[in-house]
Amino acid sequence: MKILMAMSGGIDSAVSAMLLCEQGHQLVGATFRTFDSIKESCLAREKGCCSVESIMEARNLAHKLGFEHHIIDFREHFRKYVINNFVDEYMHGRTPNPCILCNSHIKWGLLLDAAKEYGCDMIATGHYAQIKQYDGHYYLANAVDTSKDQTYFLWMLTEDNLKQTIFPLGGYTKQQVRQMAAERGFVELSKKTESQEICFVTDNDYRSFLEQEVVDFDAKVRSGNFVDKDGKILGKHQGFPFYTIGQRKGLGIALGKPRFVTNIDADKNEVTLGDREDLLTTHLTASHIKITDREWLAKDAVVEAKIRYKSPNAKALITLKDNGFDLNFEQAVWGVTKGQSVVLYKDGLLVGGGIIE
């Protein structure tokens, strides 16, 4: 097949390209430009999957492997769908998942359009995920390497997206991928480390990023009260967007014992602090949902829910609504956070997801 290979400059997309070439496919490489991290007020070096350095690394690899490569400018769309949402969510006291929106709107939105333009049948990426069919539907399935599984970040993909996608690494472990790169002569690539930060936030300092992005930031974000669950004032905070649910360090207040952020009220400019146990809950509500097969969940309402990328799956009962769902957990889960994604699994298949309210 003729496949559009999304290349980040990292080891995963590189090895994916190598494997597809060895299988006899014709590849067209594509790397997208999504943001500018160097501004007049910020001279920090760019980093991550969309930096100039990584784009050039992707182009050089494509040329070494003998296929054409294109750099695609997605900056306008990335700002509209990803960066603006990121800023808006924080300014409303929520904690967003920008990588999830990037995947659904950019990588499987605009990139599919590019695939058609270049005459490609499919697109491929270096994500650790698999695609399986069950009962007439296409599903994301967990990768063999569960420690690297990235299906959580892909839950917004549609069945049509999956029908046009290949994940070459879904059946391999990260260690095997590194070994394959080294065996093919790419020793330095095999040792390349990965950034765990948000690609467009320099030095993982989202506070400075918000200050740069929000007009009249100082007027909109002011010092407010830390309160306890009964509303008693405990002290002053620096501004509600600077805190996230479950945060314990960096609060700037000493209360004699560890305190955690348990609620953020943007309207009142209040941040509630409490004990770790105050973050336990057996219920959540989700909106902006995607469900692959409603009939399946109506017949069998037991799901395994993941409330953040690194959290373990938790058994729950789902109640579907027209534009959302409720989850009631078998055992209490910790740190449910508005704006984050909750992703649903059954038997290793990703069956749906939503945004936590």
Catalytically active residues are 102, 199
Give the whole-angstrom CA distance, residue 325 versus residue 80: 27
**Burial 129-155, CB ≥16 within 10 A → b, else e:** bbbbeeeeebbbbbbebeebbbbbbbb
Q: Cβ distance 292 to 333 under 8 Å? A: no
Q: Cβ distance 260 to 246 under 8 Å? A: yes
Nearest Cα to Cα of residue 326 among 315, 336, 318, 334:
318
State the CB neighbour count (10 A cutoff) for residue 310: 6
Instruction: Give the rounded distance of the alpha carbon of 208 from its chain centre.
Output: 21
Give the whole-angstrom CA distance, residue 337 versus residue 261: 11
DSSP letter (8 states) at residue 334: E
β-sheet bridge partners, residue 5: 29, 124
Q: What angle do CA 254, 255, 261 make, to 5 degrees?
A: 90
Give the whole-angstrom CA distance, residue 186 versus residue 188: 6
β-sheet bridge partners, residue 284: 327
- φ, ψ for residue 50 (rounded to 5)? -120, 15
Q: Cβ distance 166 to 122 under 8 Å? A: yes
Going from the C-alpha of 306 to that of each of 171, 273, 276, 310, 346, the distances in angstroms are 22, 24, 19, 8, 11
β-sheet bridge partners, residue 319: 326
